[in-house]
Structure formats: C-alpha cells, structure tokens
Structure 1
C-alpha cells in the first residue's frame, strides 16, 4: 500500500477493511527515503546550501523516527480554547491560557506522557485569524508539515475562514480530527444538531467519527449553597474538563496507526523535498546550460567570422557544435561520447535543414563573398555570417538541451516537432541583431596582426 493510499485509509471510517499493520516496516522505509536524500551524491553543494533548513529537518525527522515520536498539532480561531484543550488532554496547565485576544503567539509543544510513554508531543499554534493570510497559510503548512495528526478546534458552527483553513490542512495530507469545544454552552439537542452541521462542512475532509464534542474548560456552574445560619447563597462551582471522547479516539489511532502516522509524515516530506530539489536542480542546470550555449555561440560566431576560407568555417562550426552537445550532456548528468554527440547533432541538423535551408544558403554565399572580397568587406560579410552561425548554435543547443532534460528522449512528439517548436519560440531577428553587435564589437577590438 503506497503512502497516499495509507493516508486515504486513515481518513476512512472504522468498520471497513481492517487497518494494515507493519508500522515498523513503514518507519524503516521512511527513514531510508530520508537518508537517501541526505546521501545523494548527485545533488550539488549549492543546492544543498540553499535547502540547509530542509536538510536540518531531515536530521530532526530521522531522530523522531528512531525514537518513535508522534506529533499532534491543534489549529483554530483565536480563543476557541486550543491551549485549554491541550491542557485538558495533558492533565496539567502546560500551555498558557488567558482572556486576552490571542494569548498564543508562537507554536509550542509539550510531551504527552499518557500516550505511548513520552513519545507523543502536543503542539499549540496561534489563532488562524490572528495572522495575515500569507502568514496564516505559512504557519499552517509549516506546523502541519511537522505534525502527524491535526486537531482542528471550533466552538460553534464553522465560518468561511474556518472551512478554508480546514481545506488547507486537509491538503497537507495529514489525518484530521474536528473538535467542537465549549460544548457545555449548548443543550444536548443543540449539540447534536451542531455536530451534524460540522460533519457536513467537513465532508470529504474529516470522517464523521472524528468530529467530536469536548469541554476543555467548562464554565463554572451556579448553585445554591445553604449556609450554617440557614441562608441560601448562590456560588460558582468549577466543573472538570471533559475531553474523554477525544482522548479515547486519539489513543485508539495512536495504538493502531501511531508508527505509520510518523512514517507517513516523513515519507510525504521526503517526497516534497525531493520534488523541490528536482525543481531547483533543473533551474540550476537550465541556467548553466543557457550560459554554456551563449559561450559557444560567441566562440562559434567569432570563429566563423574570422575564418577567410569558405566551407572550412562551416566544418569548424560543426566541431564546436559537437563539443557543445557533449558539454550540455555533462551538465545534465548524461555524458555522451563524441560519436553519440555526433549522432545527436546529425539528428538535429537533419530537422533544421528543412526549416533553415534558406539560412544555410545565405551562410554559404557569405562564406564565398568573404573569400572573393579578399578581406576588403570582411567586417560586413563576417558579421552576417557569424550571426547566422550564432543563431544556428542557439537552435542546436536548445534542441540538445530539450533532449537531455527529458532523459535522452525526444518524447512522444519526436525530434521534428521538438525542433520546430524551438525554432518558432525563438525571436530570430532579435538573436541575429544581438549576435551581429557582439561579433562586430569583438572584431573591432581585435588586435591587428
């Protein structure tokens, strides 16, 4: 069963298939995937440096997996009683609870000794409407990304902000519990109706049995107390929290799926980081490939412009194109031999021939003019000829890059379509103008023989 299938299984109600076992195996697989990311020799140091914080999280996660720790986070609006709920679960006032708007301003956590020894940690977070939209989303994604189970706390019917936040959390692929706090404010009939509405809001996000009413810090009850002299006095009597249903459901999940939850979180993070590394590696390769292509464009354009022998300059250009293809293959980690590079270049050239026949015709004419002019008009003809060589190198480089980026494959469209798309996507006039200006500047600054 894959990791995404395991997550979907955890969000199904009980009574279906028996839960799959093998939490230890899942932990080992997750740890292996994290270590593979840490030890991958193909990831350049520059990318490792840019992802230093994420690599630090891998070390933390490996330690977490080794010790079998599970993290549970709470989310909710300001003053719905998130901190009070965690205190009620812990059985001690570990989290600050106050009447001020938004007492919790940063995420904090405590070990829950009742659950799996000290292997479960409860995480408190600021209210979701206490931060700006971007900050709220960043916090939700960050804390949920570090958590294995999420409790979303409300104290009444859900607002649009709460529904959006619940969907955001569901998108992190963490199993969710929805807790209706301050249930003591409602009659039994009102409470059942409210739970039904919450289950409707959470349809597809939270299974019905994970929508649970709690009283983390119930209001004191006013009672009449008879004094020694017979007088009746109204006094407030504190009531004990009632989170037994939620505690029982959490412990049930932890007992059956605790190790799998931790492994699932680690595996999801490893997959996300792997995708991010791949994206950054692609960007780095594209940037380096672009600079390499330009370097060869300049070298080829100037070399062709300076060579007074017709056709010979075209042969020199072909040699540079082979070198370019080989250079690009090393950038993309798929090194080609000179023969393989020549074959790839021949494939690209065959497609370019049909598309650029006129261009190569002008190239040959310019080459002949360069010899016939005995050097008198070299500056004029050489710049035009070099610019065409520059443009041809851009096309060769982009086509080879596309082939290598797809793992030495042209894809379903084949080389003809790929090359045609590249030709259409490039601004030929702009490239030729830039090439002529650069080549003329080089010729002008060239020292006299």
Structure 2
C-alpha cells in the first residue's frame, strides 16, 4: 500500500493545481462576504479590526506554508509493504487456484525464484530509458554478447539474458531489458518486474536525470536492493560537470547508491579537417571504458546477504500479482452473478405482460 506522503510527492503538481483551483473558488465565493465584513468593521474599535486582520493573515500564512510543503516534499519510495511469508504465499496461491482464480503469473514468479536459487548465479538487471546505452554497456561488460542497440531507440523488445564470468569465477547473468518510456505498451512494467527479480540493478543514464528517470529510480530504490547508477558517455562532460551530476545524485540517494562514470562505446561524430582546409564529419567507434564499473560490481557481488534482497523483492512482486488475480476473480464472479440475475429479471418482465404471468413469475 502506498503511503499518503508518497502519493502527494508523486503527484504534487496536480495536487498544487487542485489546491489553487479550490482557493480561487473560495475567494470568488467569499468576495461578497469580505466586502460586507469590511463595511461592518469600519464602525468597530481598532482592537477588533486588528484581531480580524491578524486571523486573516494567519490563515493566508498557513495556506502558503501548505503549498510550499507540497512543492518541496521529496519523492520517497514506498517501503510500507510487508514481505509475505513464502510458505503462506504459496498456500494462498494454491487455495485461490482451486477456487478458480488465474494464478499462473504468481506460480511463474515463484518457479523462477526457485530456479535462480538453484543456479546460484547473480542476476544484474541493466535498467534505463530508451537509447541510454544499455545494450552497448552489456557488450562492453561481456564482449561477444549479441544484444542489439539502435540510435533510433527501442530496439530491445524482450528481456534477454547474457552470461558473464568475472575474474574470481562468479557467474553473473546480465539482463538487457526494454527501455523505460518506450511507446510500446507494457514495456515499463516488464522492465520494473525484471529489476525486482534481479540481485543487483544497474541504472544507465546519459547525464543529469530527467523527471521520468528520477521516478524510475525511486521505484527501483523501493525494491531495497543494491543499485548502481552508470553515467554513460562520461567523456562528453567536463570533469567539473561530471562531479556536479554525481553530487546531485548523491544528495538524492545517499552513500548507499554507487554512481559510476562509464563509456559504453558505440559511435561518435568527429570533425576532420583536410589538408586544403575543408571540414567534414566522420563516424568513428568510441572505445568503451567500464573498468570502474567492473570493480564496483565485483564489490557489490561480494557482499553478504545479496540474495535475501532478491527474495524479498520477488515475494512482494508475487504477492501483488496474487492480489491482482484475486481481485480479477472476484470481479468476474460478481459480474457473472449480476448477469444471471439480470437475465432472470428480463424473463420475469417479459412474462409479466402475458396471460398467466403471475404463475410464471412464481
């Protein structure tokens, strides 16, 4: 369940618009009353007028403070969901399956959790917006991986896994996911769910984050698992600008979030000056640099309790899907009940206009 503070923070501009609309409406409706009050106060002692003015200023100050708080309230990830007991969740899913609910998605999540536990590998979800360089980063981390990337954006349409073994022999599975804000329906949900199943999340950004990226990062942080922000195309920024971006991210997320400049590779446009002084543009391959990211991932993988965060996130994901399946089952049952009684009502109404209808209705 999302807290009130999180809802207000996420929709604070809409809340502000509603508040301003309500205030404007109240002011318009109270206009005549204010004029009448002014006329009455003209004959009152100075002390009475001072008290009324003070109360009015206090109300205005309180309203202004409320608007300021709405604008300044930081977006905090929701952490008020209770992680369900795994055995109880599996039993509840079985019970609702017997009742006719479609719990296939829940069983898929639990089966995948079992499979990853048995494999003993570490899943690293590469997360980010369209064309941020996710696929190129995977190719740089795991040379030979055939993940497609396209400058037009949105090439990655499915969740694709690539294996990578680090220098210590740990087996990592890099997950290339659909980009956020892709026009294709449902991709954001797919990417978010896969991030929940992962042990570590790498969020790829090209620089200072957009509003959509901030929102996506808040959602990932709510999963309560290791998060690494990879600032791609870091060579395009001056060192001072790069540090300013890292400082802003650090203020927002604290020391628990690793912020790593990277160069995922790809191509770049350079200006070539010929011997005769003419200039021309030329596309060149950009050499990747992910050495620091490799070291950070190695350090994260070596932490104790890494799989516990994954298990919690998957159980929460499965519980939400079970709740959705239960609600859908109840809704379908209610609609079927209404439809059945509606048909009976129609038959009764038609019989009521025919001879002997009282016997039919009975």
Q: Pick the aligned partner of 1:44 from 98, 121, 126.
A: 98
Q: Does 2:359 correspond to 1:446?
A: yes
Match of 2:191 in 1: 140
Instruction: Tell whether 2:307 aligns with 1:262.
Output: no
Residues 301-322 of structure 1, C-alpha deviations (whole Å, 9 max, x = no match): xxxxxxxxxxxxxxxxxxxxxx
Task: Give 1:249 deviation, angstroms.
Answer: 2.4
Which residue, 291, 296, 302 being the options, matches 1:244?
291
**Alpha-carbon shift at residue 110 of structure 1 (Å):** 0.8
* C-alpha spacing 1:213/1:438, structure 2 compared with 1 (3 Å): same
Give the TM-score of the pair, scaled to structure 2: 0.58
What 5-or-longer segments of structure 2 have no aligned partner?
Answer: 1-83, 271-282
Provide the aligned C-alpha RMSD in A. Answer: 4.1
1:85: which partner in 2? 137
Aligned twin of 1:25: none
Go from structure 1 to structure 2 and tell me whether the alpha carbon gap of 1:270 and 1:286 turns closer, same or farther (over 3 Å shift).
same
TM-score by length of 1: 0.48
Aligned to 1:106: 158
Structure 2 residue corresponding to 1:272, chosen from 320, 323, 333: 320
Partners of 2:208 and 2:245 within 8 A in 1: yes
Does the 8 A contact of 1:149 with 1:261 survive in 2? no
More helix by share: 1
1:123–1:116 distance in 2 versus 1, CA, 3 Å: farther
Q: What residue number does 1:127 align with?
A: 179
User: The residue matched to 2:186 in structure 1 has which SS?
Assistant: helix
Q: 1:253 aligns with which of 274, 294, 300?
A: 300
Shift of 1:181: 0.9
Contact kept? 1:68, 1:259, Cα under 8 Å? no
2:336 and 2:151 map into 1 onto residues whose CA distance is: 57
Q: Deviations over 1:168-216 (max 9, x none)?
A: 434555543211011112232222122123334xx14x64641221122
For each residue in 1:253-301, what CA deviation from the matched residue of structure 2 results, as whole angstroms up to 9, or x when unmatched? 2222332133223322232234334434554665678789x69xx9xxx
Does the CA contact (< 8 Å) of 2:199 and 2:307 recur in 1? no
Residue 195 and residue 136 in structure 1: after superposition, are their counterparts in 2 closer, same or farther (change >3 A)? Answer: same
Partner of 1:164: 215
Shift of 1:42: 5.2
Partner of 1:65: 117
User: SS in structure 1 opposite 2:124?
Assistant: strand
Q: Give SS of 1:130's match.
A: coil
Please identify the structure whose Cα radius of gyration is greater: 1
Deviation digits for residues 400-437 of structure 1 (CA, Å, limit 9, x no counterpart): xxxxxxxxxxxxxxxxxxxxxxxxxxxxxxxxx99x96
Residues in 2 aligned to 1:37 and 1:438: alpha-carbon distance in whole angstroms: 44
Shift of 1:149: 2.7
> Closer, same or farther in 2 for the Cα pair 1:99/1:129, shift >3 Å?
same
Distance 1:291 1:100 in 2: 49
Contact 2:182 2:188 (8 Å CA) reproduced: no
